[in-house]
Amino acid sequence: MLDTISERLGQIFKSLRSRGKLTEQDVLDAMREVQRALLEADVSLKVVKEFVARVKEKAIGEAVWQSLTPGQLVIKFVRDELVELMGGTNQKIQLASQPPTIIMMVGLHGQGKTTSTGKLALHLKESGRKPLLVACDVYRPAAITQLEVLGKQIGMPVFQEGTETPPVKIVEDALAFASSNGRDVLLIDTAGRLHVDDALMSELTDIKDRVKPHETLLVLDALMGQDAVNIAQQFNEKVGVDGIILTKLDGDSRGGAALSVKAVTGKPIKFVGTGEKLTALEPFHPDRLISRILGMGDVLTMIEKAEAAMTEEQAHELERKIRAQEFDLQDFLDQLEQVRKMGPIQELLGMIPGLSAAPQLKNLQVDEKQFTRIGAIIKSMTPKERHNPDLLNASRKRRIAAGSGVQVEDVNRLLKQYEMTRQMMKKLTGGMGGGPAGKGKKKGKRRFKIPFPF
Q: Are 268 and 262 in contact (CB under 8 A)?
A: yes
Read off the pLDDT of residues 148-163 as tens digits, 9 standing for 90 and up.
999 999 999 999 887 8
Cα angle 33-37-38, degrees, rounded to a multiple of 5: 120
Confidence of residue 443 (pLDDT cuts 50, 70, 90): very low
Q: What's the mean per-residue pLDDT of the chain? A: 80
Domains defined along the chain, listed by start: 3-85 (1.20.120.140), 101-296 (3.40.50.300), 302-429 (1.10.260.30)
State whether residue 284 is helix, strand or coil.
Answer: coil
Q: What predicted TM-score, i.e. pTM, was given to this entire model?
A: 0.67
Compute the distance between CA of residue 321 and CA of residue 26 in angstroms, rounded to an integer: 55
- Least confidently predicted of 54-63, 82-91, 120-129, 230-239: 54-63
Q: Are 351 and 299 in contact (CB under 8 A)?
A: yes
Read off φ and ψ for residue 186, nearest 5 degrees: -110, 115
Read off the pLDDT of residues 42-72 as tens digits, 9 standing for 90 and up.
888 888 999 999 888 887 765 655 655 677 7
Q: Which residue has the higher pLDDT, 158 or 289?
A: 158
Examine the pLDDT at 170 and tell me if it is beyond 90. yes
pLDDT at 90: 84
- The 8-class DSSP code of residue 251 comes to G
Identify the top-confidence range among 60-64, 205-209, 254-258. 205-209
Q: Which residue has the higher pLDDT, 181 or 62?
A: 181
pLDDT at 364: 46
pLDDT at 454: 35
Mean pLDDT computed over 110-115: 90
Alpha helices in 86-166 (DSSP H): 113-126, 141-154
Compute the distance between CA of residue 256 and CA of residue 253 in angstroms, rounded to an integer: 9
pLDDT at 294: 75
